[in-house]
Amino acid sequence: MPLPATTGLGFKPQHFQDIRATRPDLGFFEVHAENYLGAGGAPHAMLTALRQDYAISIHGVGLSIGGPQIDLAHLSRIKALCDRYDPDSFSEHLAWSSHGTEYLNDLLPLPYTPETLDRVCDHVDRVQEVLGRRLLLENPSTYVIFAQSEIPETDFLAQIARRTGCGLLLDVNNVFVSCVNHRSDPLAWLDAFPLDLVGEIHLGGHDQEDLPSGPLLIDAHGAEVAEPVWALYAEVLDRAGALPTLVEWDNDVPEWHVLLAEAQRAATLLADARQHAAAQ
C-alpha cells in the first residue's frame, strides 16, 4: 500500500513518549533503515508500536546505489527488515556512500553519464528484485559538478524510473539546495522533472555559507524548512496535487511540538491542494 497523501515525520526515539501519549494526527512515520538493524531492544519495540498506529516508511541511507557496487550483504539485512515490518514505502538515494568495504557515512554525488545510468539501473533492478517491492529513489543535494556529466539530473532520474519501474522521492529542499548551488532555476528543474512518478516528498532544513559568487547551501537537516523551500513545495503541490509529505529533522533534533508545527504547516498546504483539486 502506498503512503497516504498526508504529512509524516521522521521518527526520533526521544519523541516516542510524546507520540504515544498524544497519538498525533499524522499519516506516517519514516525511519532510517540503518538504525533498525540490531537484533532487538528499544528500537524494535518502538517501531513495532508505531507500526500499529501509523503507516511506516523505511528510508535507507547505506545501499550506495550510485556507486560502483551496491552492498549486497547490507541489502539482505534491509530485506529482512522490510519483511519484518512490511513498510508502506521503501526509499533510497541517488548517491554513493561506500568505497570498497569502507562506509563513508555521507550521500556522495555521481556523474550523470550513460555508463553510470546503466549501472544505477542495474542496482535499482537488483534492490527491487531482492526486496520484492518498488523502490522510491531520492534526488540528491549536491555541492559540486562533474565535468563528465552529460545527462541533466531530471532526465537521469526520469530514465531510471522508466527503465526500472521504480518511483521517485522528490526532496524539495534538495532541489532548492542544488539549484542555488549550481546557479540554476528550481522552477525549470521542476518543469523537466516527471512529477507523475513521485511517491513521496521530503522537506527539510538547510544551512547557508557565503562564497564570493553567492550562497552555498548545505543540506544539514538541522533547522526549520526555509521559506523559499515552502514556496517551492506549494508550487509542486499546485502542479502535482497532494502527495505524501515528510518533514525531516535529523540533527539538533528539536522538541516534539516544534517538529509537529512543521508537519502542521505542510498539512495546511496539502489541505489547500486538495481543496483546489476538488474545486476544479
Partner 1 sequence: MQQHSDSPADFTPAFRAALAGGDLPDFVTARVPDEAAIRFAVYRNNVAHSLREALARRYPVIRRLVGAEFFAAMAGEFVAAHPPATPVLQEWGDAFAGFLAGFPPVATLPYLGDVARIEWARGLSYHAADAMPMPPRRLTETAPLRLHPSLQLLRLTHPAFDIWQANQPGRDGKLRGTGPRNVLIWRRPDFEVEAMAIADPDADFLQGLMQGQPIAQAAGSTNPVPILTLLLRHGLICDKETRS
Return the closest-CA partner of residue 61 out of 163, 172, 137: 137
Tell me how many residues contact partner 1 (CB under 8 A): 54
Q: Does 77 bind partner 1 (CB under 8 A)?
A: yes
Q: In b/e form, how buried is each residue of 200-235, taking b as 16+ CB within 10 angstroms?
A: bbbbbbbeeeeeeeeeebebbbbebbbeebbebbee
Q: Does 115 bind partner 1 (CB under 8 A)?
A: yes
Site stretch for partner 1 (CB under 8 A), options 17-25, 107-115, 128-136, 241-249: 107-115
Query: Nearest approach, Cβ of 280 to partner 1 (angstroms)?
Result: 39
Q: Does 108 bind partner 1 (CB under 8 A)?
A: yes
* Residue 218 cell numbers, joined: 548545505
Q: Does 43 bind partner 1 (CB under 8 A)?
A: yes
DSSP 228: H
Dihedral pair phi/psi, residue 59, rounded to 5°: -120, 115
Map residues 142-181 to x or -, x wherever contact with partner 1 holds by CB under 8 A. Answer: -xxxxxx--------------------------------x
Return the closest-CA partner of residue 199 out of 133, 229, 243, 139: 243
* d(C-alpha 108, C-alpha 206), whole Å: 17
Q: Does 132 bind partner 1 (CB under 8 A)?
A: no
Query: Nearest approach, Cβ of 211 to partner 1 (angstroms)?
Result: 5
- Residues of this chain that interact with partner 1 (CB under 8 A) are 34-35, 37-45, 61-64, 67-69, 71-74, 77, 96-106, 108-111, 113, 115, 143-148, 181-183, 211-213, 216, 218
